[in-house]
Chains A and B, each alone.
Chain A
Amino acid sequence: MSILRRVRTILFGDSARAFGTLSVVLLACLAITPAKDHFREWRRYQRNYLNLIRNRGDAATLQRRFEGGLQQTWIPELGVVDRCTTCHVAMKEASLKDVTIQPFRPHPYVPHTLTEFGCTICHRGQGAATSVQEAHHGTLAWEQPVLPARYLESACGQCHWNSLTGTPQLNLGRKLLARYGCVQCHTILVPGQGRMLTTNPAPPLTRIASKTTREWVFAWLKDPPSYAVTATMPNFQLSDADAQDISAFVMDQSVPAPAVPAEALVSAGAPAADPQAGASVYGESFCSSCHATVNAAGMVVGGNVGPELTRIGSKVKPGWLTDWLRGPRNYDPHTQMPHYRFDQKQLSLLAEFLRAKTDSDLLAKVQLQAASATEITHGKALVKERGCASCHEINGVARPENFAPDLTLIGSQSLAKIVFAEGIPHTLPDYLQAKIRKPHSFGKSTKMPQYEFPPAQLDALVTALLSQTERAATLPASLHAAGKRETDYRPAGKAGQLMTDMNCFSCHAINGRGGDMAPDLTWEGSSVQRKWLVDFLKNPNTLRPALIRRMPRFNVTAAEAETLADYVMAVYQTPAFDREEFDSAKSGADEVERGRQLFYSKYACQSCHIVDPKNDKGYIGPTLTQAGRRLNAQWIFQWLKNPQALRPGTVEPNRNMSDEDAHALTSYLMKQNREVARK
């Protein structure tokens, strides 16, 4: 006690001592703030940076450009207040690209600048924070931690709805959202365009009883990949009883398909003697351009426009198959399958070939009793509960509205509104990953079905979803780069009917509508010669030897080919030039020879195109052996001048060719009409 008393006497013994002591204490208190400021993390980083650059060759320049103190990027119209550059001081110093220690790495090249957008629009995190912890990691007050690098492309997707070459992951994610039916249950709004639409419509079930059996429906519902490994239908994890009831209802609601028009009726056909004959019809018709099969080695071979056919024989009824091949639109008016106009022999060979593609294990264990009325009613209730009609057209069940949560703003979903399943880190990307990977880990009652996406596709889907932010929805419209939206172009008249019947748009695009498997035909009338087109439609030959997807033969009649050719020649003309403009008077033998030399020496066209089948080998571009009877001279001329202007995105490089060279090459190519002479 005596010690305390003595201390008190020393410090506060009289008024002068008390005043002195209090002054010292006050001074110490006043010093706290500057001291704290002096030891701020960012000051340490700035000092470290100055040490780092001290011994470099360009130290003087770097030091001159260095700005100490708190730095801030402020962009009021985007709501950006980013102080990241306070520590990340070398963002713009390209000469430091060998530096690997953070926070001193310069920013790698991206097409935008820091001053334009700041940091957090792309990287997330808390821009205004000045400590490492608060800026990078989520806190109770700030839920957005820095975005992991693997989802970074989602940042681009906030403005870019067009498909950028630099963002393959984002593009894939969006493709998957559209392809796997996500957008059928969930609404995703695209700014200025309305809902994101599916690219892979599910088949209607209104006439399914004529197509397949209840047993197959049951097996399919239980486990889609056991029938087709490429199935896009997810697994709804139904119990046997529920799958039975749904299959009962689906069969019960089915109505008969209208009879196939009489003139197209052909008898089901006797089994073919030669098993290879069916396979060759399958091959000649290029079925595999759209349909996949799993080969003996277990590899999936073929396209993904139509369903996989590996076990088709175990699914479809024989009569339905022949009817379908004869006239697919009869069963499904919106199908992408072309009407092939098979003759009776082709039809029975192909049907026989497909019917043989069976899998005895698929339905071996499926034994269903006849369905009772209660089962059917229960099946209908289940169909409504599971949202089957979101994707499939079903009699008596309307397409549900807002069946699943709207995902337009999912990328900035507040974590407080999310129920995390156990063991999942509390971040938005981790939640999305877990939700897609195992929906049922969030409770048995969740309606979301089970998909089987490999990890890369999961990352892509999460990336696409993370781009759906509030910021994306509120950004100034001038920043939006709109994506391509399919037009609803329909060709008119008799030719239009033929094109619909043969489903040209499944492969070819015209005026912004159609597939990308085959060339865009918007300006086909300016490109080709009418006679060649008629012959080609009747009997398509190979233009691109290296392609495995080719134009099939549709058995069009001479009259149909003429109708189509008339329409193409009259309607699909470019406004950019006149077909007849080319001055062929100047195409003398000298000019042709000069063209030949240009072809083989200056422009080395033979590295990609074949003109002389004996010596030329290149097969990237189309074969030009018949260019003179296939193509229009003025088209060749214009194409040589600027290929991208005629067909945007074509691989042929623009050679910036002079008019003289283009004229000589055109003259040479117009002399190419080899095979015709022989035939």
Chain B
Amino acid sequence: MRMASAFVGIALVVCCGCSRTPQAAQAPSAKAFGTAVVEVGGGKQAAAIGTALDQPVVVQVNDAQGAPVASALVSVAVPGGGAATPASGLTGADGQFTATVALGGSSGRYQIVASTRDKNGKTIELRLEEVALGYQEIQGRELSQLYCARCHDPDSTPERVSNHDNLTAKAHAFTEGTVLNAMSEADLASIISHGGPALNRSPEMPPYGYTLGKAEIAALVAYIRAVADPPYRSKGAFYARN
């Protein structure tokens, strides 16, 4: 018996010794509670897999009257191996919490969950959707910047003036899921390769089938699918586990 108890004792010590993990940074405790989390900015962005989103994710905690709540505890969870820095913290005087978000290593849509607790300890969540672009989608994005964006992106920059408003047929922005999701991948590839008339649309959309290769056109289609809003019949989303 004595030997047995000694064994158990040693085993316990060994187990405890092994399982000791470095102390995680203490999360601050909430000093105030809100009833809602709303998005201020940072949703619906696209970035290459594993990289940080261009804009930080900013959320605001409000009370029942819709006024911002300072010092409420917010945590941001990124599924699929992504990370938010900081992952949790207190809202500032303006009731806002800002985190830099890096997406995980697989391409697709990510739902980021920003959560806080109300007075009764009930969790309130806000889900923001972001897109991680893989090799093919990144190639599509670069090609679209080169060949498509001048007409399909209605926004102008000093470096690139948009031609969108000069056309009689309005080119659809690639994010316009309401229209583009209804087109099959074969149709999209066909209108890119053979131009608008291939689908009985405007000849202002020229054919690119003799300029771009098959793989490049497939990359453009993949990019259009990836950034569609509302999402194209989700390829399977990553949902945060709570």
Contacts and interface: CB of A to CB of B under 8 A. Distances in A.
* Secondary structure class of chain A's binding surface, majority of residues: loop
Given A456-B52, A546-B161, A618-B163, A168 B138 contact: yes
Given A165-B142, A644-B211, A651-B147, A602 B203 contact: yes
Interface in B191-220: 202-204, 206-211, 215-216, 218-219
Nearest to A102: B106
Given A98-B235, A166-B219, A607 B167 contact: yes
Contact of A150 (B50, B108, B207, B216): B50
A608 B235 CA distance: 36
Nearest to A549: B159
Contacts, number: 111
B50 A152 contact: yes
A604 B107 contact: no
Most central of A151, A546, A548, A656 by chain B CB within 10 Å: A546
A300 B236 CA distance: 41
Most central of B134, B136, B211 by chain A CB within 10 Å: B211
Contacts of B147: 651, 653
B150 A620 contact: yes
A61 B131 CA distance: 31
Contacts of A167: 138
Interface residues of A, number: 42
A301 interface: yes
B211 A607 contact: no
Contacts of A97: 235-236
Interface string A97-116: 11110100100111100000
* Secondary structure class of chain B's binding surface, majority of residues: loop
A261 interface: no
B106 A301 contact: no
Interface in A624-654: 644, 651, 653-654
A655 B207 contact: yes
A455 B53 CA distance: 11
B135 interface: yes
B36 interface: no
A44 interface: no
Contacts of B232: none
B142 A168 contact: yes
Interface size class, chain B: 35 or more
Contact of A607 (B106, B204, B216): B204
Nearest to B234: A98
Contacts of B136: 108-110, 166
Contact of B206 (A102, A105, A617, A653): A653
A98 B238 CA distance: 10
A142 interface: no
A166 B134 CA distance: 9
Contacts of B59: none
Interface string A468-495: 0000000000000000000000000000
A35 interface: no
B227 to A, nearest CB: 16
Nearest to B132: A149
Contacts of A110: 135-136
Contacts of B206: 603-604, 607, 653, 655
Nearest to B203: A604
Contact of B51 (A150, A602, A620, A654): A150
A298 B226 CA distance: 34
B116 interface: no
Contact of A653 (B80, B207, B236): B207
A656 B209 CA distance: 9
B139 interface: yes
Contacts of B202: 604
B138 A109 contact: no
A100 B158 CA distance: 41
Nearest to A171: B142
B224 interface: no
A618 B50 contact: no
6 contacts: A109-B134, A149-B50, A548-B158, A604-B203, A607-B204, A618-B166
Interface of A: 97-100, 102, 105, 108-111, 148-152, 165-169, 301, 455-456, 459, 546, 548, 601-604, 607-608, 617-620, 644, 651, 653-656
Given A108-B135, A166-B138, 9 more contacts: A100-B108, A100-B238, A109-B218, A150-B48, A150-B49, A165-B146, A456-B51, A548-B158, A618-B166
